[in-house]
């Protein structure tokens, strides 16, 4: 029964991401396809969840209180998003357009390739479920941290591997709310955090990864669905059969429940995708808004993004300035704005490592 519950939670999660992403795209006037919209909704969800969760984690609140408050906030967000989508939706064009025989054959070929791509992605999801296994200390810590939080109704108060109480918050983990999102769902539904991680978090990582690859390919190939489908299918095949340890493929298939897997396969590729768009048109504020959202939510998804995301953004902008020779103040200002959230997190984390900031529990 827990597996069927996980399937329902997975479908509901995707629907929530789609609605939030659609509302964000409408307000920012972004022309995004469904895969990109779901990815934007994912980052929007964690951007807001991080604000709520961190306030409660740092003040030592109970896990059930986080769940109650977040459900209220999420309901308000979804209500507002539904109103935005309903008000801003416009009827589309006519669907009964006449097409030539060549266009019809091209569409049939595209549909066939897209069906093949969908089958490949489903096989990758099945591989992620069947191949996930115990991976030593990391597995014990992350899963143990969530199950302990559910059992004790606390957040980051007990060590995930030993179960012993901590004397202070370990900000290396507590600055990211990713695992507490699974914990509050586990507490609410009664489904084990281990089962949720295996069947929801792992599969969702695979779906979001391919959504990013699809969106990036559509941008590069200029909306050519056939080339995009071939590329995504090829990437799925390479991922499944690229059996080399400590690669992004290994994290995706074997350790998709970890925040590191999301950082390597979702966050960083999404940043690269948006930086590609910014490079093409650095004056488009809509792309900068999308990049800021992803950067703002990156630490919430994974602490591994703390330095990697701002470093990636800064390197791209420096390369853009050197190649295009467009030394614009607006470009530098937007870059600083995008990396500022991570810089603030980095300052707090550095202060904790030096012993300047200790939060007792």
> Residue 53 CB: number of other CB atoms within 10 A?
26
Q: Report the pLDDT averaged over residues 136-154.
A: 86
Question: In this predicted structure, which of 29-38, 79-88, 148-157, 245-254 has the lowest mean pLDDT?
Answer: 245-254
Cα 113 from Cα 76, distance rounded (Å): 39
Q: Angle, to 10 degrees, between the axis of helix 285-301 and the axis of helix 305-324?
A: 150
User: Within a domain: residue 93?
Assistant: no
User: Within a domain: residue 176?
Assistant: yes
User: Within a domain: residue 302?
Assistant: yes
Position 243 confidence tier, pLDDT thresholds 50, 70, 90: low
DSSP 360: B
Measured CA to CA in angstroms, residue 132 lies from 75, 147, 178 at distances of: 33, 18, 19
Confidence at residue 346, expressed as pLDDT on a 0 to 100 scale:
94
Residue with the bigger pLDDT between 348 and 109: it is 348
Q: Does residue 10 have a pLDDT over 60?
A: yes
Q: Does residue 96 have a pLDDT over 50?
A: no
In sequence order, what are the residues at sequence separation of 6 or more whose Cβ sits closer than 8 angstroms to the Cβ of residue 128? 202, 203, 205, 206, 252, 253, 256
In sequence order, what are the residues at sequence separation of 6 or more whose Cβ sits closer than 8 angstroms to the Cβ of residue 204? 10, 13, 14
Question: Mind listing the pLDDT tens digit for each residue in 160-189?
Answer: 777 788 888 889 889 999 999 999 999 999
User: Within a domain: residue 116?
Assistant: yes
Nearest to 196 by CA among 46, 42, 4: 4
How many domains does one find in the chain? 1
Q: Are 322 and 355 in contact (CB under 8 A)?
A: no
Question: In this predicted structure, which of 86-95, 237-246, 348-357 has the lowest mean pLDDT?
Answer: 86-95
Question: Apex CA 160: angle with CA 157 and CA 163, to 5°?
Answer: 75
Matching residue, tokens 């590729």:
269
Confidence at residue 99, expressed as pLDDT on a 0 to 100 scale:
41
Cα 90 from Cα 86, distance rounded (Å): 9
User: Within a domain: residue 292?
Assistant: yes
Q: Report the pLDDT averaged over residues 263-289.
A: 92
Nearest to 206 by CA among 146, 272, 255: 255
Q: Does residue 272 have a pLDDT over 50?
A: yes
* Helices within 263-328 (DSSP H only): 268-280, 285-301, 305-324
Residue with the bigger pLDDT between 89 and 62: it is 62
Measured CA to CA in angstroms, residue 97 lies from 93, 156, 211, 330 at distances of: 9, 58, 29, 43
Token reading at 60:
């030592």
HEC readout, 164-193: CECCECCHHHHCCCHHHHHHHHHHHHCCCH
Confidence at residue 98, expressed as pLDDT on a 0 to 100 scale:
39
User: Within a domain: residue 95?
Assistant: no
Q: Are 294 and 46 in contact (CB under 8 A)?
A: no
Residue 93's Cβ-count burial label (10 Å; 0-12, 13-18, 19+) is exposed
User: Within a domain: residue 333?
Assistant: yes
User: Within a domain: residue 90?
Assistant: no
Position 104 confidence tier, pLDDT thresholds 50, 70, 90: low
Which secondary-structure segment (H or E) carries 254? helix 248-254
Token reading at 189:
């539904």
Domain that holds residue 132: 2-85+104-353
Confidence at residue 343, expressed as pLDDT on a 0 to 100 scale:
94
Question: Mind listing the pLDDT tens digit for each residue in 192-222?
Answer: 998 999 899 999 999 999 999 999 999 999 8
């Amino acid at each position: 029964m827990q597996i069927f519950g996980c399937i329902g939670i997975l479908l509901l999660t995707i629907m929530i991401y789609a609605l939030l992403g659609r509302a964000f795209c409408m307000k920012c006037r972004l022309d995004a396809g469904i895969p990109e919209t779901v990815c934007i909704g994912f980052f929007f969800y964690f951007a807001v969840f991080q604000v709520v969760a961190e306030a409660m984690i740092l003040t030592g609140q109970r896990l059930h209180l986080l769940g109650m408050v977040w459900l209220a906030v999420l309901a308000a967000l979804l209500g507002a998003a539904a109103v935005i989508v309903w008000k801003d939706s416009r009827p589309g064009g006519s669907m009964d357009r006449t097409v030539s025989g060549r266009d019809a054959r091209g569409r049939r070929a595209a549909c066939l390739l897209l069906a093949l791509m969908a089958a490949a992605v489903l096989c990758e999801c099945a591989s992620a479920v069947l191949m996930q296994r115990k991976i030593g200390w990391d597995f014990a810590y992350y899963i143990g941290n969530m199950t302990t939080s559910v059992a004790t109704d606390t957040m980051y108060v007990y060590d995930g591997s030993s179960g012993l109480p901590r004397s202070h918050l370990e900000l290396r983990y507590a600055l990211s709310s990713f695992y507490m999102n699974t914990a509050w769902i586990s507490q609410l539904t009664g489904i084990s955090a281990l089962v949720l991680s295996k069947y929801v978090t792992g599969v969702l990582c695979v779906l979001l990864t391919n959504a990013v690859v699809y969106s990036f390919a559509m941008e590069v190939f200029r909306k050519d669905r056939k080339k995009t489908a071939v590329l995504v299918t090829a990437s799925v095949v390479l991922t499944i059969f690229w059996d080399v340890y400590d690669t992004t493929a290994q994290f995706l298939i074997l350790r998709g429940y970890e925040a590191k897997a999301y950082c390597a396969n979702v966050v960083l590729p999404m940043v690269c995708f948006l930086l590609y768009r910014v490079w093409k048109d650095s004056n488009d504020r809509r792309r900068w808004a999308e990049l800021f959202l992803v950067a703002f939510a990156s630490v919430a998804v994974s602490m591994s993004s703390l330095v990697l995301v701002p470093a990636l953004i800064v390197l791209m902008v420096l390369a853009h300035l050197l190649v295009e020779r467009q030394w614009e103040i607006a470009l530098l200002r937007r870059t600083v704005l995008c990396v500022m959230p991570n810089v603030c997190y980095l300052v707090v984390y550095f202060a904790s490592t030096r012993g300047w900031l200790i939060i007792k529990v």
